[in-house]
Amino acid sequence: MTFAAFLGVIMFTLLISIAALHIVWGFGVVWPAQNEKQLVSWVVGAKGLQKMPPFSQCLLAGIGIGFFAFVALMLGNAISSPLSPRWVTMIGILSAFVFAGRGIAGYFPQWRRRFPQQPFATFDQYSFAPLCLLLAAGYATLVILRI
């Protein structure tokens, strides 16, 4: 297995797990929290929010994250793609920018004002935003290895 394929599989595994969590949260599962209010404060953090987003939003988030998981596999040539190599590379570049944007946003005061609930704000600053930046670096690495 090449390094690119290995990196793609690692990124896929991480992202597909996160996607699955978003989908099960949509079905009302509150794990790893003890109740919905606690889950909101851990994973959403939006100002004044007490309930999880509706099923449709959780499903959409899960599908979107799942899409990015498969992009990582395609970029690493761990699976074949129905798209041309050029399209896969362009989607990989877009993926790097999406995750970099989300990662950087976590450190802006405007983001902090919109998502101030604790412990989300702390989790975001020390886990979620850095993870997004790491994923952006992973996509950038996969793109560079393709060209």
Residues ≥6 apart with Cβ < 8 Å to 85: 146
For residue 93, name the pLDDT band (cuts at 50, 70, 90): very high
**According to the model, what pLDDT value does residue 83 have?**
93
The Cβ of residue 94 has, within 10 Å, a number of other Cβ atoms equal to 14
Length of the chain: 147
Q: For 21-79, how does the pLDDT look when each residue is reduced to its tens digit (9 = 90+)?
A: 999 999 999 999 999 999 999 999 999 999 999 999 999 999 999 999 999 999 999 99
Tell me which DSSP letter residue 51 carries: S
What's the pLDDT tens digit per position in 127-144? 999 999 999 999 999 999
According to the model, what pLDDT value does residue 43 have? 97
Q: What is the pLDDT, as a whole number, of residue 63?
A: 98
Q: For residues 98-110, give the mean pLDDT.
A: 97
**39-57 b/e (C-beta count within 10 Å ≥ 16 → b):** bbbbbbbeeeeeebbeeee
